[in-house]
Every structure is written in C-alpha cells, then in structure tokens.
Amino acid sequence: MNLAQFLIDTATRIPAHPAVRFQGEVLTYGQMNRRVDSLAQGLTRLGIRPKEVCILMMPSSPEWALVYYALAKMGAIVGPVNPLYRQGELTHIFRDSGARAFVGHKDYLKEPSLVVDRKKEMIIRGGYNVYPREIEEILYKHPGVLEAAVIGVPHADLGEEVAAVIVLRPGSQATPGELRQFVKDRVAPYKYPRVIRLAKELPKTSTGKIFKRGIRLEE
C-alpha cells in the first residue's frame, strides 16, 4: 500500500478524524483527501505526469503534506528538498535526480504559490527566473488568444529575453502591443514578453502538444 492509498482508505473509514493539527487549525482526513484530489487535478493540468521526478521545496506546513500526497496520487516521484538549500545545491539535485518539474513555496507566504514548470524551459532574463507556464496562463485569459507559447530568445545584455508566439481566435483583432500590455499589467516588470509574434498556427507533436523547439520567430 502506498501513501496515496493509505489516505484514501483512511478518509473512507474515518473521514471526520483529525489528520493534521497545525497552529490551532484542524484538517480531517476527509477534508485532506478532497483537497489533495483538487490539487492533483490542478497539477495535472499544469503538466506534471506520472513517473516524472518533481522537486518539492516548501517549509514544513499542512500545505507541504497536501502537495506531497497530491503528487503521490498522481504517480509522480517526489523529491523533498530543504528550503534552505542554495542555488548550487539545487542545481546538483536537479541534475542528479533528472527532475522535470518544481513545486515551491514563493517568498514563504502563508499560502503556497505553486510554480510548476519544465526546468529546461525556464527563462533566465538578466538573472531573474521566468517560468513560461505562468506567462502562458495569463495570455490564455485574454479573450482573443487561442494558443500561446512562451520561449526564451538570446539577448546580448540580458542573456535571454522573454518572447511569446500567439495564435489568435478567429475574428480577434488583438495586437502585439495590446497583448504585451495585458501581461505587463499582471506580472512583475521583468516577466512580461517584450517580443510578441502572431502566427497562424504553432508546431505540434504527434500527440497535439505544442512543440516549442520547433518554433521559429519571424520578423
């Protein structure tokens, strides 16, 4: 029996029994199981797949347990990491484990901010990390966007610049400037894409997933 099945069985037998007590708050097994299911669905939508190694870097908290069980339910391989580790240590862990995704606690806020992305797709702009998935999710909130892919392009001074290639919905008249401002209003200044290209379609894999390595920016 794995941990995920243990939670399911326990939530079925004694759903009202306390599972977690933390700073005066109580989370029952039933509540925990429901939250874990919801989180697992969200992480799946963000791209984490079964058997993929996922680094979990959060301080000890109920949220840590929820993320751990969610990943276990999904069949992912969880790699808990000490939040005090520095960049060099993390680089070694990613390289040694073959991790493809990262779930971290942003700035140690009370509520976890989940950052899930392919490590190889992360853009480093002027020393700042930009996760393409975060920018793509914002672009998809624009009513005129049908598909979007965010990639890093070489930049002489910054190392990489954030670029977005976008397919508009039929009838949409959205411009690159409008889309750029839409993202700029919702993220930190270093994150929004300075380069935006409109395309008729994006390259896809045989399974229909956007193939970013096949994207070529056209002036």
Q: pLDDT (tens digit, 9 = 90+) per residue, 78-121?
A: 888 887 776 666 777 777 777 777 787 554 333 444 444 455 57
Mean pLDDT of 122-150: 91
Q: What is the DSSP string of 3-30?
A: HHHHHHHHHHH-TTSEEEEETTEEEEHH
What pLDDT does residue 214 have?
A: 87
Contact criterion met (CB below 8 Å) for 14 and 29: yes
Q: What is the mean pLDDT of residues 192-206?
A: 93
The residue among 186, 46, 35, 19 whose CA lies nearest residue 103 is 46
Q: Model pTM greater than 0.75?
A: no
β-pair partners for 125 = 128
pLDDT at 161: 95
3-class state of residue 151 by DSSP: strand
Structure tokens at 99: 């991790």
215 has pLDDT over 50: yes
Q: Average the pLDDT over 28-47 and give the result.
A: 89
Beta carbons within 10 angstroms of residue 39's beta carbon? 21
Cβ proximity of 91 and 44 under 8 Å:
no
Instruction: Phi first, then psi: give them for residue 92, nearest 5 degrees.
Output: -65, -45
Q: Residue 111 has which token pair?
A: 């509520």
What average pLDDT score do residues 162-185 get?
Answer: 96
Task: Report, as an integer, the average pLDDT of 47-54.
Answer: 84
Domains (ranges, CATH) in the chain? Answer: 3-116 (3.40.50.980), 123-214 (3.30.300.30)
For the range 111-118, what are the long-range contacts, defined as Cβ-Cβ under 8 Å and sequence gap of 24 or more?
Answer: 111/63, 112/58, 112/61, 112/63, 112/67, 114/42, 114/43, 114/46, 114/67, 116/43, 116/46, 116/47, 116/48, 117/47, 118/47
**Close Cβ partners of 95 (under 8 Å, ≥ 6 residues apart):** none
